[in-house]
Amino acid sequence: MMKAKLMQKVLAGALTVALVAAPSMSVFASGAQGSGSNTCGGSSTTTEAAVVEIVNAAVAPTESSSGSGSGTVSSIAEIPTTSSVAGVKTSVAGVYMATSVNGTAITTGLADIASSYGLAAGEKPYARIYNMDTKKSPLAAAAIDQAAAAKGAVVGPYVNVELGKLSSGKFSLLASEGAPITLKFGIPKSFAQDGKTFAVVCVRPGGAVSILEDTDTNPNTVTFNTTGGQGAYAIIKY
């Protein structure tokens, strides 16, 4: 029991490290790129360069990446604020930098999320989705791999997901015990395979692991229900 609790604490720390760049994303999430104001005593140009560097570090492809292209950007203006999967556009604005999958989309309606999570006037749902670096978060990856192995499954691309809200330009996470939010990942061609069943493994800070079944019939996508907050996700097939 003590070892299990210790593992949960270490895993939570690993996830925090994996998502360490996320708070810096609020610099541009609130539209700061158009303000021209200085931050921390530096010029807006310096600030933009720092944010771009953080974003590119967070989404840099790894050896296990199944996506095509690096997805890196050279300016804040190039950071995707929306995404689509198989013609379905995401309902929530955000930072969509997960190049390891063939697109990501939140299909639960914006108003439904705002209502079910009790967002106040002036607050709006906001998502941040980007590649997970297994080298920076080895314990989260190990937990995903173990869950997949228990089902005899093969692990595909890993993705970091943060489902939160913007309030006065500041980002915070939605409650992880909230109402269901439906996400859709595009399955990379390199991982697609006829006759296989696809699902998603999710690891939460604290060590909770769940396998989220595919709810659609499209062989090129995996659709699943999750909740707010942050987590490490991976597509699996078996």
Residue 79's pLDDT band, with cuts at 50, 70 and 90, is confident
pLDDT tens for 83-119 read: 999 999 999 999 999 999 999 999 999 999 999 999 9
For residue 213, the surrounding DSSP H or E stretch is strand 209-213
pLDDT of 40 reads 39
What are the backbone dihedrals phi and psi of residue 174, each rounded to the nearest 5 degrees, phi first? -75, 160
CB-CB contact of 14 with 208 (8 Å): no
The tally of CA atoms less than 13 A away on the side-chain side of residue 116 is 18
Instruction: Give the three-state DSSP class for 10.
Output: helix
pTM for the whole structure: 0.75
Residue 80's pLDDT band, with cuts at 50, 70 and 90, is confident
